[in-house]
A and B are shown apart, each in its own frame.
Chain A
Amino acid sequence: MTARERASRRRLRFCLAVVVGVFGIFAVRLFQIQGLDASAYAAKAVEAGTNTSTVPAPRGQILDRNGVALAASVDGLTLTADPTMTAANAPQIARLLVEELGDKIDYFETIDKLRTANSHFVYLKRDVPAWTATKTLTAIKDAGYTGVFSEKESLRTYPGGKLAANLLGYTNATGKGVSGIEQQYNDVLTGTDGSSTFELSPTGQRIPMADSTVTEMVPGRDVTTTIDRDLQWYADQRLVDAVRDSSSDWGLAITMDVKTCQIVQMSQAPTFNADAGTGMNDFNTVSRAVSNVYEPGSVLKTVTMAALADQGKIAADSPIVVPSGVTIDKFKIGDYWDHGVLHLTAAGVIAKSSNLGTLVAAQKMSDETMHRYLRKFGFGEKSGVGLPGESRGILADPSKWTKSNHATISFGQGIAVTATQMMRAVGAIANDGKICNPSVVSGIVDEDGKKKSVETPAAHRVVSKKAAASVTRMMEAVTAPDGTAPAAAIKGYRVAGKTGTAWRVDPVTGRYIRGQNVVSFMGFAPADNPRFLTYIVLDRPYSSAGGGSTAAPVFHDVMSMALERFGVAPTGSKSPKVPQTW
């Protein structure tokens, strides 16, 4: 072997060693990838190549009785920013945001957010309707700025703004109902989010015919309420005017169909606007119709009279000797006007709203009997309207009643109620003595558009038909020209009603506050064939305001509108003349 051959052989061996070495490294790496870390790499590849997105399920709508949306869901966006990208142009971007979003966003606060130090993510504004957010993002992009992004979400809107706000309630930032029907029917309204997973090319394009998984979302179901939107709006407006004119702290106006116990309108003032996000404080958002407890005053005299009439102890023309004043347990009781001994009929006692006449009549029944009737009329228990935060009111056990308790409860002091409890009780008098639970929801609309009715307990009798008719005659005297509320009379119709002016209780001390009242008016029409019951409550109006002068005109307008909208024509019959004195 020559030296040249030897050199050549060495070179060959060296090359072979290099090639074997390189392939050896490849083999080791291959073993590592395929053998040892296979699953981790496979997962990484899948993650890089697939995209999973959530398909948000829209929340169901809340509809009025005619199918008009009172609350609906639309596409919304949350605007976010990366401050490392926006800090340099913060004032310019903030100006564009304010130009597009108006007073929904604060200029200086936004600049601070856009300049947040050591952060890559800040929320600029949540719950922006998609059309506004898209316009805003386009404006920022067109101006050449970067760093503002958006996240998809489902946004709750209330097309009527303040309309029936306390009844509908509102949702929190996570889309969960936290008040009113939104809370009570949250499970029905909430749908199930879907998801969609598909493979993407490195450029972000969806790969055709590649594996994809789609889980269909299930939209929330719609809730149909018993509310008539137009009547609700009118009552809202009328109540706002009344609260302002009487300088009241707050007011309520509720109308119920006495045949079905469906509430067709439930207004509260002041209220809030969940759509615009204004007035969202506890004073405005609380649902006073179910959670505010107050002493009803003279409206409760109708229940006392119904209890007596049911026992056959009183009729509209029964004579009652009304004393000039009474002192029970050192507690002086009088009427709102000074008088000597009066000879009033039961109708006269109701028409003139005499406390003394009522307590004299109420002496004909024991504490236990009176308590039993109050329980039968639904006091001391929830009204069953099915709204969150409902109170039971306060009705003490008769064993704890003093003599003065029996007297004052008969005319509505010393007992605390909610407005829906009062509606339920007087509704029984209007409904021939049969009581039923007020309702605000009539049905749930399924995905296929079929409406499933919400079952409500059947009405049951609490007093006889004759007793109810007798109290109705007494209540008709209230709206007569010589009654306490002629302003509640509707021309052409027979209207039965009762005024209420009750002392306000200081919630801190539990004592009455002199000069501060809760005034109210409860009435139904047509009195000879009742269809609607309307209740107006005004809290702490100016000191001289009474139920007849302040609440009755609101009752007149709201009841008239209800009769007109539902086509309830007057029957044409005349109110029987019942003597008020004897």
Chain B
Amino acid sequence: MSAQPAFAPSRRETTTTTPRSDAVERGLRLVRPVRSRASKAPFVVVVMVMLSIGLVGLIIMSTVLQAQSFEAAKLDREAAALEIQQQSLTREVETLLSPASVAQRALIFGMVPNTNPAFLRLSDGKVLGKPEPAASGSNIRSVAR
């Protein structure tokens, strides 16, 4: 593209004669056409570098994505395993917190469910109901699951 204007005058030079005599008359002389000295090498290098960068980037991106895909699959498996573990632990906690489990331990300690409800009114310290100690072995004797 940059060479185009340089050739244009030379084309006119070979095809026309009248302008030359006009030029001479006006004190003009023909100059040598400007030769483009710009080398093609840097352009090629730039294109090559850009292509290389693009290609390498693409490879890196593809590799990273692949690696991430493996990582995602691994993390998925880990998450599933942890979820299973969490469910297992939650169930264990629920079992330990269940009334049956608590009562079983309480009975081992000799505790008895109290079926004589009585309350302490905080405003005046009055006892409502008739509190009585729960007799050993009364009501629930063992825990059936």
Closest to A130 in B: B84
Interface 0/1 of B117-145, CB less than 8 Å to A: 11101000000111010000001110111
**Main secondary structure on A side of the interface with B:** mixed
CB neighbors of B among A125-148 (8 A): 129-131, 134
Separation of A401 and B87 alpha carbons in the complex (Å): 60
Separation of A572 and B74 alpha carbons in the complex (Å): 67
Give the shortest distance, in Å, between B92 (CB) and chain A (any CB).
10
In addition to A160-B98, A492-B118, A560-B117, 5 A-B residue pairs with Cβ atoms within 8 Å of each other are A74-B91, A131-B85, A134-B81, A159-B91, A233-B103
Tell whether B57 is near chain A: CB-to-CB under 8 Å: no
**Interchain Cβ contacts under 8 Å between A and B, 25 examples:** A129-B87, A131-B85, A131-B87, A134-B84, A161-B98, A161-B100, A161-B145, A163-B98, A205-B66, A205-B73, A208-B68, A229-B99, A230-B99, A234-B99, A492-B116, A492-B117, A492-B129, A557-B115, A557-B139, A561-B117, A564-B114, A567-B119, A568-B117, A569-B119, A570-B117
For chain B, the count of residues having a C-beta within 8 Å of the partner chain is 38
Give the shortest distance, in Å, between B77 (CB) and chain A (any CB).
11
Closest to B114 in A: A564
Q: Is the CB of A157 within 8 A of B84?
A: no
Q: How large is the interface on A (under 10, 10 to 19, 20 to 34, 35 or more residues)?
A: 35 or more
User: Which of these, B72, B100, B132, B144, contacts A206 with CB under 8 Å?
Assistant: B72
Q: Is the CB of A234 within 8 A of B121?
A: no
Give the shortest distance, in Å, between B127 (CB) and chain A (any CB).
9
Interface 0/1 of A538-582, CB less than 8 Å to B: 000000000000000000110011011001111010000000000
Residues of A within 8 A of B94 (CB): 69, 159
User: Which of these, B65, B88, B103, contacts A209 with CB under 8 Å?
Assistant: B65
Give the shortest distance, in Å, between B53 (CB) and chain A (any CB).
21
Closest to A73 in B: B87
CB neighbors of B among A196-255 (8 A): 205-209, 229-230, 233-234, 237-238, 240-241
Residues of B within 8 A of A159 (CB): 91, 94-95, 98
Residues of A within 8 A of B13 (CB): none
Tell whether A493 is near chain B: CB-to-CB under 8 Å: yes
Residues of B within 8 A of A69 (CB): 94
Q: Is the CB of A491 within 8 A of B130?
A: yes
Closest to A133 in B: B84
Separation of A207 and B65 alpha carbons in the complex (Å): 9
With A205-B73, A238-B139 in contact, is A556–B115 under 8 Å at CB?
A: yes
CB neighbors of A among B78-102 (8 A): 81, 83-85, 87-88, 91, 94-95, 98-100
Tell whether B69 is near chain A: CB-to-CB under 8 Å: yes
Closest to B126 in A: A572
Separation of A59 and B66 alpha carbons in the complex (Å): 36
Give the shortest distance, in Å, between A127 (CB) and chain B (any CB).
14
Q: Is the CB of B140 within 8 A of A237?
A: yes
Residues of B within 8 A of A569 (CB): 119, 121, 128-129
Residues of A within 8 A of B115 (CB): 556-557, 560-561, 564
Give the shortest distance, in Å, between B67 (CB) and chain A (any CB).
10
Separation of A561 and B117 alpha carbons in the complex (Å): 7
Q: Is the CB of A491 within 8 A of B116?
A: yes
